[in-house]
């Protein structure tokens, strides 16, 4: 049975990281919240890689893209390409192109807001 990303602790971690960012915005303390979210997103990425969940790696990449962390996003893409390359049906690899385009767009938005790692 294949585990789905939305049923993992990693998915919950990304949601907690997202909530941390929102709390920081409302509370007027965005930098400490970004640092906390970054650690939480990293934990989610580690879990996704450990369980070989492409959805999880891509979701973590999106989270890092919203932080403007191009370096980590690029590393996530490498991880995703490795996972897709090992998929038996080839469909996983087809998902990477639109995912990369979305990540690039998220990075542009983050950079235009001045959000950088």
Q: Parse the chain into domains and list their residue ranges.
A: 7-111
- Asked if pLDDT for residue 3 goes beyond 70, the answer is no
pLDDT at res. 92 = 81
Length, in residues, of the chain? 117
Residue 1: pLDDT band with limits 50, 70, 90: very low
Q: What is the pLDDT of residues 56-85, one digit of tens each?
A: 999 999 999 999 999 999 999 999 999 998
**pLDDT the model gives residue 21:** 96
What is the tally of helices (H) and strands (E) in the chain? 6, 0
């Amino acid at each position: 049975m294949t585990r789905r990303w939305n049923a993992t602790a990693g998915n919950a971690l990304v949601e907690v990281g997202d909530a941390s960012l929102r709390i920081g915005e409302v509370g007027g303390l965005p930098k400490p919240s970004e640092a906390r979210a970054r650690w939480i997103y990293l934990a989610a990425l580690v879990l996704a890689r450990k369980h070989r969940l492409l959805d999880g790696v891509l979701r973590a990449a999106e989270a890092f893209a919203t932080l403007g962390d191009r370096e980590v996003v690029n590393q996530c893409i490498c991880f995703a390409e490795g996972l897709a390359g090992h998929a038996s049906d080839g469909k996983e690899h087809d998902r990477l192109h639109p995912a990369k385009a979305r990540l690039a767009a998220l990075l542009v938005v983050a950079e235009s807001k001045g959000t950088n790692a």
